[in-house]
A and B are shown apart, each in its own frame.
Chain A
Amino acid sequence: MIRVKEPSSYWWLRRRKYIAIFLRELSSVFILSYVLLYLLILAQLESGGRGLVSQFATVPFVGLSITLLAFSLYHSVTWFLLLPRIQPMKIGKVVLSGKLALIANLGGLVVASLLIASLVYGVQILSAR
């Protein structure tokens, strides 16, 4: 007697390509977590508390921050890889390949990051002479 196993709808959880995409979607949980965490930090500071801020230097908090950053970067990179598939990036008339488009976008990310750090948050990028 042949027993037929009902195929699972989750076959894609067993394939590396699909897991990479699943992680991409999962990065949204970490992004939302950062938004909530940041708002809580600001809310607490406004009401005079320093509970969360005092944890900044602790190992668990640094670990959490690095995890949030890692997923945020994974989100950025996968986003930069997806967009050129819909709208190819051009410089003038030259169409950039997937790899070049990624590099161009990463460059944009670096520039934006420096601008945010210095203009919004006042981080000293260049040491004052």
Chain B
Amino acid sequence: MDALNYASDWLDGSLAFRWSCRMGVCGSCGALVDGTPRLTCAAPIPETGEKVVIEPLHNFPVQKDLVVDIGDFMEKLGRVEPWIIRERERALEEGEYPQKPEELEKYDQFSACINCMLCYAACPVFAADKEFIGPAAAALGYRYNLDSRDEGATERLDLLTGGAGAFDCTFVGECSIVCPKNVDPALALQRIKIDAALTSLKSIMRRGK
């Protein structure tokens, strides 16, 4: 990132690139560094002075230089209903929804996503089919299925698997490898498949009665 800022300040003022927090929490600075999706703020320049190639992330329309259009992801994120769904909301007087540490542990890692899009850039399924729901949207949606306060898992499962949904994932696993926040979207996607398969089995057995 320092190199990009140096280039912009001293070499070519027209260079366009996103950056903000400089510490790996805002998710703005995703780019390909020597072919690998990285946060530029987390990718050190080699001390040997070798050439480093920085390119815009794979699989996204390039607006200018290193700036890509992630509007498609924002739409997918909204589609998976990433919020607590309840049959009845508690009134304020009834107090908060208590949650034990073990219950938090279940979905915690999936809530760490910073929407940096490195996982989408690493996914060959998304490369071939831009309709694919993708790792981050799936992980963020699944995070709510795992939340003890949520009651919308069945409905959300349909949203996560519909269209070019979770079942299009072929478990390449690169999404989890490139994630800078140690989210495991590959795990979320496989669990979604398992959950959907089990609920489908149950619904068939219920119909049979």
A10 touches B171 (CB 8 A): no
| Interface residues as binary, B154-193 with A (CB distance below 8 Å gives 1, 0 otherwise) | 0000000000000000111110000000000011001100
B171 touches A9 (CB 8 A): no
On chain B, the number of residues with a Cβ less than 8 Å from chain A's Cβ atoms is 17
**Which of under 10, 10 to 19, 20 to 34, or 35 or more describes the interface residues of A?**
10 to 19
Bound CA span A82–B128, Å: 22
Query: Distance (Å) between the CB of B166 and the closest chain A CB?
Result: 13
Interface membership of A63, Cβ < 8 A: no
Bound CA span A3–B172, Å: 33
Residues of A within 8 A of B35 (CB): 15
Residues of B within 8 A of A11 (CB): 58, 127
B173 touches A12 (CB 8 A): no
Bound CA span A125–B59, Å: 53
Query: Distance (Å) between the CB of A8 and the closest chain B CB?
Result: 9
Interface membership of A119, Cβ < 8 A: no
Interface membership of B124, Cβ < 8 A: yes
B contact set with A: CB distance below 8 Å: 35, 58-59, 62, 124, 127-128, 170-174, 186-187, 190-191, 194
A contact set with B: CB distance below 8 Å: 4, 7, 9-12, 15, 17-18, 21, 25, 82, 85-86
